[in-house]
Amino acid sequence: MSIKVEGVSKYYGTQAALSNVSFEIPAGQVAGFLGPNGAGKSTMMKVITCYLPPAEGKVEVCGFDVLKNPMEVKKRVGYLPEHNPLYQDMYVREYLAFVAGVHKIEEKTSRVQKVIEMVGLGPESHKHISSLSKGYKQRVGLASALIHNPDVLILDEPTSGLDPNQLVEIRELIRQIGKEKTVLLSTHIMQEVEAICDRVIIINKGQIVADQPASEMNKLNMGKAVVIQVEFSGTITHKTLQGIKGLSSANSMANGHWELVSDEGIDLRAEVSKMAADHGVYILTMQKKEASLEDVFKELTGK
């Protein structure tokens, strides 16, 4: 496993930022790390990257313990923190060459050029970092995280400040990187997780509350509500719908569209079909609404 976290806890005073957290991420996987503000995401990332020691538990990166072999871990990890620290008075190429020197890269010039091309910094690479937009500063941070060709990439809000075109480019870059490297990605953008990640880990109040393949997260609807979206050909009223067995609520969406909810886990489609036939109206469309990743996130984190 590229990242192995076993029973990790971390405290700030008496407050537990992490409580008995465990997960593993293999090579070649992009894992989305989600949670509300203050849930422990950044703390967990700082523990993995050796910026903070765990109070309890064990973390290994590429087989190296973060407490026993921190330098070996740092050689194998690229980290883009939430607040991207850059030397604002340096030129882009100058800064990346400096970071390459820290990592003792022999062919600095060629490696700097390669990462500039990778992250799309070419047109801005001759400028002072202080003169760059927030989006391009993010690209500089990502380039510095990639400069030493790490096996593991830890990205905390990597697309913050990017415009829609830049978002597409960086997401595609992260997706390509994830084919060869392990990527742990923190974000608040659910569409980003769905577009990039193979797997989703959700943390709330310092504890893991979900860990599933991204394709299966929308099935993790912990509540019993079943939502049916239906379009009728004729006029239907709230009073007519009240006869449907198991119906909890009915919301008119205009133009004959309704959203029907059962809080008892009952699939209402058969009863809706019977009601429509009894009242002489046709059903033009009807489908069971699947929970979105955002729905699951809200339910699991209590929002």
Query: Where do the domains of the chain lie, and which CATH numbers do they carry?
Result: 3-219 (3.40.50.300), 226-301 (3.30.70.100)
Beta bridge partners of 199: 31, 213
Per-residue pLDDT reduced to its tens digit, 87-133: 999 999 999 999 999 999 989 999 999 999 988 899 999 999 999 98
Q: What pLDDT is attached to residue 259?
A: 87
Query: CB atoms < 10 A from the CB of 53, how many?
Result: 12
Residue 303 has pLDDT above 60, yes or no: no
Supply the DSSP string of 239-297, one letter for each residue.
Answer: HHHTTSTT--EEEEEETTEEEEEETTS---HHHHHHHHHHTT--EEEEEEEPPPHHHHH
Strand partners, 254: 257
Residues 33-75 pLDDT 10s: 999 988 999 999 999 999 999 999 999 999 999 999 999 999 9
Cβ neighbours around 118 below 10 Å, total: 15
CB 79 within 8 Å of CB 150? no
pLDDT tens-digit series, residues 282-301: 899 998 877 678 778 887 88
Predicted confidence at residue 19, as pLDDT, reads: 95
Strands 3-12 and 56-61: what pairing? antiparallel
